Amino acid sequence: MQTQNQNQGMIYQQIPETSNAKKKFTLPKLQFRQFGDDLKDWLPFWNQFEHVDKDDDIAPENKFQYLVQATVVGSRARKVVESFPPTGENYVKAVDSLKARFGREDLLVEVYVRELLKLIVSVQSNQKLAPTFLYDKLESYLRALETLGVTTDKCASILYPMVESCFDEEFLKACNRIPTSSSANDAKERLENLMLFLKGEVEGEERI
């Protein structure tokens, strides 16, 4: 549509307003993360399956079938679930049994603490671990422990010596040359500075 501007004697074309309607996309179906025997897989597994567990629109008997599909064939977890007749009444019992066997917080804390100890043993045995590998593992374990309530606010005095033991003396000396590290007073701050220094080392390697 053309409109004349009376003041300037110019003709211009009006641009029609665009619609604010949002485009719709078809997303792929979400597949269940299957849980087997590895306790380190419990947190990501239950984080996903909990959405099914809390969905009141899904009948309990259907939740039971989803639970079966979400466990690895032949695993201990599948055997626990299949030890119950597949009825709606038994769904909660099957979930409670899985949690008692694999999802206890005290048990999972022990698992991640042991993983930290394995890293320490690797370093003490002079096994060369790449900074990227160390950073990814430490971040993963610390986040898992935080999810389980073992936070740096409460447990830094325990976590810091363990994380520190994952590095050789040369690395720790380099870290302590940083002003913020050398002036840190408490374990929480020292742990944060150590992880930040490691992150910087990893990012530096990735630029090369």
For residue 129 the two structure tokens come to: 């671990």
pLDDT at residue 21 in the model: 52
Q: Which amino acid is at 97?
A: S
| Cβ 80 vs Cβ 98: under 8 Å | yes
| Cβ 2 vs Cβ 13: under 8 Å | yes
pLDDT at residue 89 in the model: 96
| Cα 118 to Cα 161: distance, rounded to the nearest angstrom | 14
pLDDT at residue 186 in the model: 82
| Cα 22 to Cα 202: distance, rounded to the nearest angstrom | 40
pLDDT at residue 28 in the model: 67
pLDDT at residue 6 in the model: 40
pLDDT at residue 61 in the model: 96
Q: Which pLDDT tens digits describe the chain residue by residue (208 residues)?
A: 444 444 333 333 443 444 455 556 666 676 778 999 899 999 999 999 999 999 999 999 999 999 999 999 999 999 999 999 999 999 999 999 999 999 999 999 999 999 999 999 988 888 888 889 999 999 999 999 999 999 878 888 899 999 999 988 888 888 888 877 656 678 888 898 899 999 998 888 777 6
Residue spans of the domains in the chain: they are: 39-103, 106-206
